[in-house]
Chain A
Amino acid sequence: METLNRNLLHPQQRVGENMPRWLQAGGSEALRGAVKDTSALLPAIKEADLRGLGGSGFPVWRKWEAVAKEAASPDKYLVCNGNEDEPGTFKDRLLLEETPHQIIEGALLGALACGINRIVFYINPDLTRSLAALKSALGQWQDGELLKLASDALGKQIKMELVPGSSHYIGGEETAAMEWIEGQLSGKAKFPFPRGKPPYPAQCGIFGCPTLINNIETLAHVPAIMRNGAEWFRNLGIGHGAGTKLYSLSGDVLHPGVYELPMGTTLRDLIYVHGGGLLSGKPLKAVFTGGPSNTLLTPDDLDVNMDFESLRERGASLGTGAMIVVSEGTGMVKRVAEYARFFAHSSCGQCPPCKTGTATISRLLDRIDTGCGTAADMATLESLCRMLPGSGRCHLVNGVAQLLDSSFRHFRNEYEQALK
């Protein structure tokens, strides 16, 4: 399986917080190169077609460019988002545990490219092992030669901080993250309510300063791109896809786990080659892509390349790369009801349509699932699917509606069977 773990999870990279071993494996080379000429960073990332791997698939260079253009007032912030909390996603925790130095180097490169002097690592507090690994790794960088090199290149002291998250799912949303970090840095705790956009974080983020926010996985790719060149990175991918992607495979498969595969690997390869196939040899029923706030994939999608574009063409989305596989014999209504309950519970409650909409969806789904639903409940759910999208500040409510809508499309009969 020469396609597996070629970059982020390459065995040489998985040294944990052991800095000397990481240096031996080529760590810090990219940073040492970049301090000589920071202007080469942005074009390289653009050339590599690196995307935001936290779920958006937004080209990284556009965010970087926007922040780079802004003047520091007085600071610029980089938030390394590791608040992963959604069902079925478990890639960031592995990266943090096994390759923390790679992430820190990536963050510093991002900071140099955009002229950022304050870096915040924002991690889900429930991931205690990841937190510990990153903390120990950061300790080895503080006051070290590498950080000084980077600060000198920037012309300002770079400050790196670790801010544990709020352990709310919504805290992973980028503006909510900024809200929480502001609270933690100023000592006056704030609930992570998402903010309205615009203004975008690039213009007005933490304390009004220009702020770049990237997922842990995105930043971890940067050092290798700088080391091996953009073309090398692009060629790692398949079809439209560039580079590699961490897929979190879970559910009814023989070997669940995190697989680093070329961006654009097919679902069939992921499930049947790497995941060892379905449990007890059952047929595939559907895949919730993650975290399960996206359109469902069905056996028809087995041969679609799993990159952002190809999936978008099918009306689906890659999300964080979480693939929750369900086999025949799984009740879809119950699953969707469970995820809806998760999102209803996670809604921060500031936008009324989201607060009441997700709660209503969850309640109606529970009703249908327990055999007490009526045709009127179904009709209500369907109209909610049309009404709710776009009615909240963040994407939470859209995700629920999308999941529900696509489960209606593919498994309508299961809902109808469960009605009274």
Chain B
Amino acid sequence: MKRGLSLQAALAAYRPDTELAPLPELNDPDTLLNEHHPDHLRGSMTKLTIGPNAGADCQRELADLLQAEAFIDEADLAGAQVTDTDVLVIGGGGAGCAAALAAAESGARVLLATKLRLGDSNTVMAEGGIQAAIEPDDSAQQHMQDTLRAGHHAGDPALVAAMVGDGPEVIRWLIHQGMQFDQTASGDLRTRRAGGMTAPRIVHCRDYTGLEMMRVLREAVKQHRGIEVWDQSPVVELLSNERGQKCVGAVLASLSDGSMRIVRTRSVILATGGLGRLHLNGFPTSNHIGATGDGLVLAYRMGAHLCDLDSFQYHPTGLVHPPHLSGKLVTEGVRAAGALLLNGQGQRFVDELQPRDIVCAAIIRECREGRGIHTDNGGVGVWLDTPRLECSQPGMLEQQFPKLLARTHHVGIDPRREPILVYPTLHYQNGGIVIDVNGTTSVPGLYAAGEVAGGIHGRNRIMGNALLDIIGFGRRAGRAAALAEHDRGPKKITLEHVNRARRALTLAGLPLTQRAPQILPAYTAVGKDIWKP
């Protein structure tokens, strides 16, 4: 990477009112992606050798976990307390809560287990908003086209159709739960247009839409008598029937005392979210501390098909400076509101409202080619030109992006006067567990919803579809799981699928040393020695 300007020099040279040269034409987006998007970094991919996706491309860090040994053995289950329930929901984010509520509303007894606390999730970090085709000049068809196009037509049309069709109903349901949205003077829902969209379609609550959503979901879950919540209870393994072909429960560990608890159930819904904390290719991440891809690991060992394991989303505007906030998000809403991206030479280099992967690749290109801005401790990035936005629409930042101002205020940066240094940050897992429109995976008894599921966003997600996805598919999975049929006969709970994976590992000559799921990143105090005696 060529070294560009230093942060101090770039700040000194910055003027919010400099004349900008016209934007250079983007002739060949595919070449840009191939050359600069992190998914195409040389050496970052490998092929899976065992499991249902054997032979498929996969990120190296993820492949190591998918092809790892289980944490527990049968001996660890001796004396474990057994709890029976109808539906076990794993994950306490938006998808998990939506699924739990839908299952409970369908009459099932629900147990919701979270790794940390209810609401500790990426949902609360979603700032921009949620998409739904509710404007008069918009349609579900357009929403579908935008989603498929931005995903490079790799998404499953049936899933996308289900999601966009759910859109208006999801917003209505959220409002019924008590969620606030920004409104126009006349009381209509205020919408914004963001990267990759043909119409304004994002409804939002300032720049903390996800936080507001989680607030009402948490309250609804806590108040529902059919839902029991177990905090600080990460799942370390699923349980299968005697042939290892059906999911019949899970083993939960307690973060407080390390003890194991068995939950026996009709159906399990995985809503464990993404894997930003694996820091693929060394990128910083916008994800919360528990996003370690556990759901993918558990489902894969159980025999579920996954998809697009080589496709991840890097959000174009993660903070670079100060270092302790590295990777934290500046919402795409700022760009949607009109903020521009400028390189070290003070010039625009990409249409800011292109899909995220293109903007991200363009930023990386600028930095690689010496037009980036370097900090003293090795960071590099480009300007997000917030002062110019403030000049053109005074007061708009304060009014619409209070969360951004609060966060930067803490570290002595005022985005109204100085631009923000940004660089792509690992944000979202595009692929995941293959599901159908009811959240059913290829393993009976196992459902998935939210970021852990794949096939919806293709190879690139557009803003606002994540929140729609988690509520829409969360509720679908919850309903389907609650209506699943009971098995005849006594319920056998075994680790046969773990044995099957062990056999496959041995036969493939892979080591049995690494263990997964990771539960918490190794750089955290607990994660370092999480299950060691």
Residues of A within 8 A of B (CB): 87, 167, 251-252, 254-256, 279-280, 326, 328-331, 333-335, 338, 341-342, 344-345, 366, 369-371, 414, 418
Contact = CB atoms under 8 A, between A and B. Distances in A.
B503 A334 contact: no
B1 interface: no
11 contacts: A87-B242, A254-B507, A280-B506, A280-B512, A330-B74, A331-B79, A334-B74, A342-B492, A344-B490, A370-B80, A371-B80
A104 to B, nearest CB: 28
Question: Chain A CB within 10 Å — which of B493, B499, B512 has the most?
Answer: B499
B213 to A, nearest CB: 38
A81 B78 CA distance: 37
B489 interface: yes
A331 B78 contact: yes
Contact of A330 (B75, B489, B502): B75
Contacts of B506: 254, 279-280
B503 A418 contact: no
Question: Chain B CB within 10 Å — which of A254, A280, A328, A335 has the most?
Answer: A280
Contacts of B9: none
B135 interface: no
A414 B503 contact: no
A331 B502 contact: no
B73 interface: yes
A331 B503 contact: no
A334 B239 CA distance: 14
A279 B503 CA distance: 7
A54 B512 CA distance: 38
B11 interface: no
B81 interface: yes
B53 to A, nearest CB: 22
A68 B423 CA distance: 89
A256 B492 CA distance: 19
Interface in B456-503: 488-490, 492-494, 499, 502-503
B492 A338 contact: yes
Contacts of B158: none
B396 interface: no
B489 A370 contact: no
Contact of B77 (A256, A331, A414): A331
A255 to B, nearest CB: 8
Instruction: Bin the interface of chain B by size.
Output: 20 to 34
6 shortest A-B CB distances, which residue pairs? A331-B78, A345-B490, A371-B79, A329-B73, A330-B74, A329-B75
A256 B75 CA distance: 21
Nearest to B489: A345
A370 B499 CA distance: 23
Given A342-B492, A345-B489, A329 B242 contact: no
A254 B75 contact: no
Interface string B70-90: 000111011111100000000
A254 B78 contact: no
A291 to B, nearest CB: 11
Given A279-B499, A279-B502, A370 B77 contact: no
B490 A341 contact: yes
Contacts of B69: 280
A332 B181 CA distance: 56
Interface in B31-82: 69, 73-75, 77-82
Given A330-B74, A335-B74, 11 more contacts: A87-B492, A251-B499, A252-B499, A254-B503, A279-B503, A326-B74, A329-B74, A334-B74, A338-B492, A342-B490, A345-B489
B79 A418 contact: yes
Contacts of B73: 329-330
Interface of B: 69, 73-75, 77-82, 242, 488-490, 492-494, 499, 502-503, 506-507, 512
Contacts of A333: 78
A169 to B, nearest CB: 9
Contacts of A369: 78-79
Nearest to A344: B490
Given A279-B506, A329-B73, A418 B242 contact: no
A232 to B, nearest CB: 36
A414 B502 contact: no
A267 B25 CA distance: 74
Question: Chain A CB within 10 Å — which of B73, B80, B488, B502 has the most?
Answer: B73
B58 to A, nearest CB: 24
B78 A334 contact: yes
Contacts of B77: 331, 334
Contacts of B82: 366, 370
B510 to A, nearest CB: 12
B75 A331 contact: yes
Contacts of A331: 74-75, 77-79
B491 to A, nearest CB: 8
Contacts of B81: 370-371
A9 B423 CA distance: 64
A330 B81 CA distance: 17
Contacts of A87: 242, 492
Nearest to B502: A279
Contacts of A256: 503
A414 B77 CA distance: 13
Nearest to B72: A329
Contacts of A366: 82
A418 B77 CA distance: 11
Contacts of B494: 338
B346 to A, nearest CB: 60
B490 A418 contact: no
A384 B489 CA distance: 24
A348 B510 CA distance: 47
A414 B490 CA distance: 24
Given A87-B242, A280-B512, A418 B502 contact: no
A328 B492 CA distance: 20
A251 to B, nearest CB: 8
A329 B499 CA distance: 12
A328 B79 CA distance: 16
A371 B512 CA distance: 31
A334 B75 CA distance: 9
A396 to B, nearest CB: 14
Contacts of A334: 74, 77-78
A331 B74 CA distance: 6
Contacts of B502: 279-280
A375 to B, nearest CB: 16
B525 to A, nearest CB: 29
Nearest to A255: B503
A89 to B, nearest CB: 12
B509 to A, nearest CB: 12
A330 B76 CA distance: 8
Contacts of A254: 503, 506-507
A167 B488 CA distance: 10
Contacts of A341: 490, 492
A255 B504 CA distance: 10
B161 to A, nearest CB: 34
Nearest to B75: A329
B501 to A, nearest CB: 10
A329 B78 CA distance: 10
B377 to A, nearest CB: 44
Question: Chain A CB within 10 Å — which of B74, B80, B81 has the most?
Answer: B74
Nearest to B500: A256
A345 to B, nearest CB: 4
A87 B243 CA distance: 10
Nearest to B507: A254
A340 to B, nearest CB: 10
Contacts of B74: 326, 329-331, 334-335
Contacts of A418: 78-79
A414 B489 CA distance: 27
B344 to A, nearest CB: 54
Contacts of B493: 338
A227 B74 CA distance: 48
Nearest to A90: B243
Nearest to A126: B488
